[in-house]
Amino acid sequence: MSVSSAQVVTIEDVSALVSQQWGYDSFRPLQQEAIENVLARRDSVVVLPTGGGKSLCFQAPACALEGLAVVVSPLISLMKDQVDALRTNGVAAAFYNSSLTPAERNSVIEAIRSDALKLLYLAPEGLLTENMMSLLCGVPLSLIAIDEAHCISSWGHDFRPEYRGLKTLKKRFLGVPVHAYTATATERVRQDIASQLGLNGPAVLVGSFDRPNLKYRVERKAGGIDQILNVVHQHQGESGIVYCISRKEVERTAAALDALGHSALPYHAGLSGIDRAKNQEAFLEERVDIVVATVAFGMGIDKSNVRFVVHSGMPKSLEAYQQESGRAGRDGLEADCCLFYGGGDLMTWKRIMESSSEASEAALEALNAIDRFCKSTQCRHKSLVEHFGQAFEQEDCSACDICLGDLDLVDDALIVAQKILSCVIRLEQMYGADYTAQVLTGSQDQRILEKGHDRLSTYGLLDQHPKGAIRDWIEQLIGQDCAVKYGEYNQLQVTERGWQVLRGELTPKLLKPATKSSRKQRKTDPTSWEGVDRELFEHLRELRRELATEQAVPAYIVFGDATLRDLARRRPSTIQSFLAVHGVGQKKCDDYGQQFLEIINDYCVEAELDCDVTSATAAPARERPALNASAVAAFPHFKAGASVAEVAVKMARAESTVQGYLSQFIGHEQISDPSPWVDFATVERIRTAIEAVGDDRLTPIFEQLGGEVPYDQIRVVVGCLANAVSA
């Protein structure tokens, strides 16, 4: 038969089971309602944000109900992680997929037939084979759960055609309730999910899309990886994900981070399946801190303690960004989400979509939405929540660059905007953003002079501002629909809203980088690190890593960061007090309790600290200096004594490019001796010229030397002398 026998299970029964096996004393928002729908055998669509506890909504009732729960999951890695976590909590679970040996597959089939499992994980194509369908028709089923259910909708951000076959489940398994779960789904996608699966009057539960523990920051790309490094330094030794648009950028960024002493590995579809699995496991087991990846990485990565997610380019949709950034802070603790976008990202994604036949109306609409988000002046939390059709009532989220004052509003935004748009008109709406910015700064570029644009009334109107700031303002005006890009070369055109600005009828918002003194401190959860002994936390983290390695499971499956912090805060000395810690259930207490208690006891004895406490003084957060390392790949060559010419040959780069790498190397390594690149006599001439002009700017020095010494040599000496002074 297909339906499990009648059985009365109450929410109180499930709550007691959750406390016993998972160590949680309460449900997260909407978890109880979702579980009650399962117990009532009513189909449902459940949308909870990443970290909202979707899995528990079907795992917990599946353990309490009679029969087998079938879980549809899109990725082998996701199945393995969830099954490992369930087994750690004492739940009989298995997956069936191509990663198993024939003997292992036979073992799972026998477990299905003998009613030895509570949950079985399958890919959609694995479930829909006739052999598997026939096998499952012969055993009692408690429920069918569809994870990552947005994949069934062409309006979802990650449509997968193989999911469409799941519409046969309601017909094949009569009376078995089907439940769809996802983290990102607009109203249109939710309706499409219910329709495609043929759900019968489903309950639709939509949790808040807001993740208050995540701090969002969006910046225009400044080039290189220095912006990424600034984030990494703030989270030294912590887990993070860096997303890049292209495979080439993934490889380059991972190599640079690793060369600078940050353990990082690449992940993209161009790697072999073995290498991808190996790198992912190293990240999950905390043998490496950072994964640099394309969007091929991450769906269902159930790692709770990711402390930062960086996008080095614009994602392809707000749904994708919500899900990818949502992989940070799944344990509810604070985490940083930083998006660095470039003016060309929009066109890059369009080219990728067109080459892969993904350029549908829905995909392009989603792409334009994320582009507007990047250039928006509205609270990031508010923008994301409202995109998914929910209201956001807070005036200040205290957790994004806008609300924290990382960016200031330009005081005379109307005048600045009018000057920019006027220049677009004077240029007959035939030029792009970069050229327009050059005209506004009063550039002496040959092209501007040849075309006579230095004689325009708008020429040099914003010469008191850097070109980069003007480029940002142009993008912000585009984001507020005051101008649009058109044509093959992204020429600018003023819209109707732009004409309203020119007439003074509408004032746009323009942002500028804030000074440090104007930035507000982020309001963080006072319990996150309060009272936590940082050194003890690291000892516990090391034990967790060892246990995870022994069991070949991701580290967070042993305990999440929130549990380790609570252990380092409470410092329990007995099994009873250990059980009172957040996230500790009976099974994990039995498995790990004694080992963690020994570490805590030894630490407290050595440090002369009390055990069984509830508060302590937290150590201050560490500060790390920022580095500029956009040419890190060249650094080992310079360290080995190679010349600029030699490095240029090895890296297949122009010497002028490698000369720039050398300048960055000198700054990064604080080199004070220029002799490997400039002979002694020339160094002395440059030193004398610097003293004569009283300035370290290159042009006055070059002129003092009569133009006889190349700028490249002057730059090397100036950099080295500056390092010597600061040493």
Cα within 13 Å of Cα(12), Cβ side: 1
What is the mean pLDDT of the segment spanning 646-672? 82
Neighbours of 425 (CB within 10 A): 15
DSSP designation for 393: -
Q: Whole-angstrom Cα distance, residue 131 to residue 664? A: 61
Beta bridge partners of 236: none
Per-residue confidence band for 153, with pLDDT thresholds at 50, 70 and 90: confident
What is the mean pLDDT of the segment spanning 614-641? 56
The residue type found at 511 is: L
39/612: higher pLDDT: 39
Per-residue confidence band for 670, with pLDDT thresholds at 50, 70 and 90: confident
Least confident of 213-227, 373-387, 474-488, 609-623: 609-623
**Quick one: residue 531, left, alpha or beta (phi over 0 = left, psi -120 to 50 = alpha)?**
left
pLDDT of residue 416: 95
325/368: higher pLDDT: 325
The residue type found at 130 is: E
**616, 532 in Cβ contact below 8 A?**
yes
In whole angstroms, what separates CA 613 from the centre of its chain? 35
Dump strand ranges (E) for 363-445: 407-409
What is the mean pLDDT of the segment spanning 240-266? 91
Q: Which residues, other chains included, contact 707 with Cβ-Cβ below 8 Å and sequence gap of 6+?
A: none
pLDDT of residue 418: 96
Per-residue confidence band for 409, with pLDDT thresholds at 50, 70 and 90: confident
For residue 60, give the nearest of 111, 23, 94 by alpha carbon: 23
pLDDT of residue 302: 67
**417, 473 in Cβ contact below 8 A?**
yes
DSSP string, 194-242: HHHHT-SS-EEEE-----TTEEEEEEE--SSSHHHHHHHHHTTTSEEEE
The residue type found at 542 is: E
pLDDT of residue 473: 92
Q: Give the architecture (CATH level 2) of 214-404.
A: 3-Layer(aba) Sandwich (3.40)
Query: Is residue 301 predicted with pLDDT exceeding 80?
Result: no
**Residue 120 DSSP SS3:** strand
What secondary structure, in 3-state letters, does 241-282 show? EEECCCHHHHHHHHHHHHHCCCCEEEECCCCCHHHHHHHHHH
**91, 117 in Cβ contact below 8 A?**
no
Query: Is residue 708 predicted with pLDDT exceeding 80?
Result: yes
Q: Give the architecture (CATH level 2) of 11-206.
A: 3-Layer(aba) Sandwich (3.40)
Query: Is residue 8 predicted with pLDDT exceeding 80?
Result: yes
Do the bridges between strand 264-267 and strand 290-293 make them parallel or antiparallel, or are there none, so unpaired?
Answer: parallel
Q: Which residue reads 């009828």 in tokens?
A: 505
pLDDT of residue 618: 33
What percent of the chain is helix, strand and coil (3-state, nearest 5)?
50, 10, 40
pLDDT of residue 629: 41
**Residue 146 DSSP SS3:** strand
Q: Whole-angstrom Cα distance, residue 209 to residue 82? A: 23
Query: Is residue 568 predicted with pLDDT exceeding 80?
Result: yes
pLDDT of residue 475: 84
Query: Is residue 380 predicted with pLDDT exceeding 60?
Result: yes
Least confident of 244-248, 464-468, 651-655: 651-655
**318, 384 in Cβ contact below 8 A?**
yes
- CATH top-level class of 409-513: mainly alpha
pLDDT of residue 173: 94
Do the bridges between strand 483-486 and strand 491-494 make them parallel or antiparallel, or are there none, so unpaired?
Answer: antiparallel
Least confident of 444-458, 619-633, 640-654: 619-633
Query: Is residue 626 predicted with pLDDT exceeding 50?
Result: no
Q: Whole-angstrom Cα distance, residue 420 to residue 418? A: 5
pLDDT of residue 696: 67
User: Which helix (H) or strand (E) segment is 649 a member of?
Assistant: helix 644-651
pLDDT of residue 459: 95
Domain locations in the chain as residue ranges: 11-206, 214-404, 409-513, 534-607, 632-726
Least confident of 80-84, 345-349, 604-608, 714-718: 604-608
Q: Whole-angstrom Cα distance, residue 684 to residue 680? A: 6
Q: Which two tokens stand for residue 227?
A: 């912006």
Least confident of 98-112, 150-164, 210-224: 150-164
Q: Which two tokens stand for residue 262?
A: 């940050």
Q: Which residues, other chains included, contact 528 with Cβ-Cβ below 8 Å and sequence gap of 6+?
A: 333, 334, 565
Per-residue confidence band for 698, with pLDDT thresholds at 50, 70 and 90: confident
pLDDT of residue 1: 41
In whole angstroms, what separates CA 48 from the centre of its chain? 18
How much of the chain exceeds pLDDT 90, in percent? 40
Over the stretch 514-533, which tens digit does the pLDDT of each residue have?
554 444 544 434 346 777 88
Least confident of 108-117, 331-340, 455-464, 572-581: 572-581
**405, 381 in Cβ contact below 8 A?**
no
Query: Is residue 269 predicted with pLDDT exceeding 90?
Result: no
pTM for this prediction = 0.62
CATH number 1.10.150.80 is the correct assignment for the domain at 534-607: yes
**295, 243 in Cβ contact below 8 A?**
yes
Helix ranges (H only) for 40-173 are 54-64, 76-88, 102-113, 124-127, 130-137, 169-172
pLDDT of residue 695: 66
Please indicate whether the domains covering 11-206 and 409-513 agree at the CATH topology level: no
Per-residue confidence band for 623, with pLDDT thresholds at 50, 70 and 90: very low
Q: Which two tokens stand for residue 388?
A: 């998914």
The mean pLDDT of the chain is 85
**Torsional sign, CA 377, 383, 387, 389:** negative
Per-residue confidence band for 358, with pLDDT thresholds at 50, 70 and 90: low
pLDDT of residue 630: 45
What is the mean pLDDT of the segment spanning 226-241? 91
pLDDT of residue 527: 42
Q: Which residues, other chains included, contact 21 with Cβ-Cβ below 8 Å and sequence gap of 6+?
A: 63, 89, 90, 91, 585, 586, 587
